[in-house]
Amino acid sequence: MTVVYQRARWLDRLIHAAVYGVVLLMPFSVLYKLSEPLRPGQVELYVTPGLELADIPVAVLLLLVVLERWLQRRRGASFARKRLVFARLVLLLGVLGVVSAFGAQLPVLAVYTALRWLLAGVVLWAMVQARVAPRRIAYVLALGLCVHVVIALLQVWNGAPLGLPGELALRPGRRSASIVRLGDEMWLRGYGLTFHPNALGGYLAVALTLLLPLLSSRSARVLWGVLSIGLVATLSRSAVLALLLVVPLLAWSLRRADPRRPSISRRSLVVFGCLAALAIAAFWKPIVVRLDPLIVQLGIGQGEAVGSEQGSLEGRREMNAAAIAMIAKHPFLGVGAGNFPIAMPAIANLRPQYVHNIPLLLGAEVGVAGLLIWLAIAVWAGVVLTRGAANVWLSAAAAASWVIVIIGLFDCYPWSLNAGRLLTVTVLALMESAAQSSHPLHNQPANEWKTENRKPEM
């Protein structure tokens, strides 16, 4: 007879609390340095080994999941061995990162970065083992981001950082400050307490996507409105583009996954359209400036504003060309995990930073194999989304994954920053969990494991 294992209530609560802690703290990029920067002249967060706030709940979560496995084995209970495809792919990226250290200009940085990648894969595995309902993760993520939205709006209104602990926003006029300029006018983009407005925009886009299946709830609609306003304050083009492309597909997929509630899709589209119209009306000036290529074609605006935004786009194209050159020169080992900013000055006359394209970044740092792994993740998520899943949360998680994939074509933070990697693996963990759930709405209690001896409910 198979021994039925049921997670103790105290352990279940602790594991869930650890997951919530990871979700709440992962947007922060506050770093406790463990050493001096490994290479001067670089962005410190890129080249400095250290601990971040989210590392605390991550460590607690891993210890609790290992403890649960030990208790399970001690009681002689069996458990289903699950094929966690995404976890294996992320761990494989970590292995490639370790191997890439043999050809890296800065091997220590490559090893440290690879260890971070491996940790991300382990976190993905632990989140699947935690068995937290996706709706709870969606709510916790959205509630936590409301704090960042309020701070971002105050930053935009103040036109400068607020001086809060952990705030990484830069004052207008400082190098690398995220501003939108039109003549003598300057708008500071909303950072919240994240590393960059684009990073906050990506988090908000993912949270908005995960909230779509919950829009029948009034609280979810309120959260959706607040986060949408925050997304506009970031003025993140990639995040908005990802939402515009993914929301219609997800609305269609949700209708197929749960035909009993077809109003969800209509309500999602109506709310999204109304908020978009209000946001454009309130922030039309900086929005117009951010759409610089269209501005040039229509003859709206000129001079410094156009030059600033056009310079950003030109820099991205030059970094993409540099990444392609690195892949051609180092197709197997790459230049080393985390070493792209180190290798870039030898190829392009640009300020050292990561290429703003994740497939090219992985291909340049760990070889063509890394690029193919990222494409495999994107293809699987895309197939699930476009075919329409039989599970609401599988559809939502696949859509959130594609939000990250689209953003990854224009920004690198979903993989280059630890905060972005944790967001990425959290979404992938939701896909893994939803794919393994037999219930269409994934409402099975988190502390129950099915066995052959369990009697069916009447």
Indicate the helix (H) or strand (E) that contains 295: helix 292-298
Residues 6+ apart with CB under 8 A from 367: 96, 100, 327, 330, 331, 332, 333, 334
Displacement of CA 258 from its chain's centroid (Å): 26
Q: Which residues pair with 82 in a beta bridge?
A: none
Q: Which amino acid makes up residue 304?
A: E
Indicate the helix (H) or strand (E) that contains 134: helix 134-158
pLDDT of residue 79: 58
Phi, psi for 33 (deg, rounded to 5): -70, 135
Is residue 217 within 8 A of residue 208, CB to CB? The reply is no
Would you call 358 exposed, middle or buried from its count of C-beta atoms within 10 A (0-12, 13-18, 19+)?
A: buried
pLDDT of residue 371: 97
* Ordered mean pLDDT values, 10 residues apiece, the chain (458 residues): 71 97 96 93 92 97 94 72 85 97 96 98 96 96 98 94 94 83 78 96 97 89 90 90 88 74 58 66 60 47 49 77 94 96 84 93 97 96 78 92 96 96 98 72 37 38
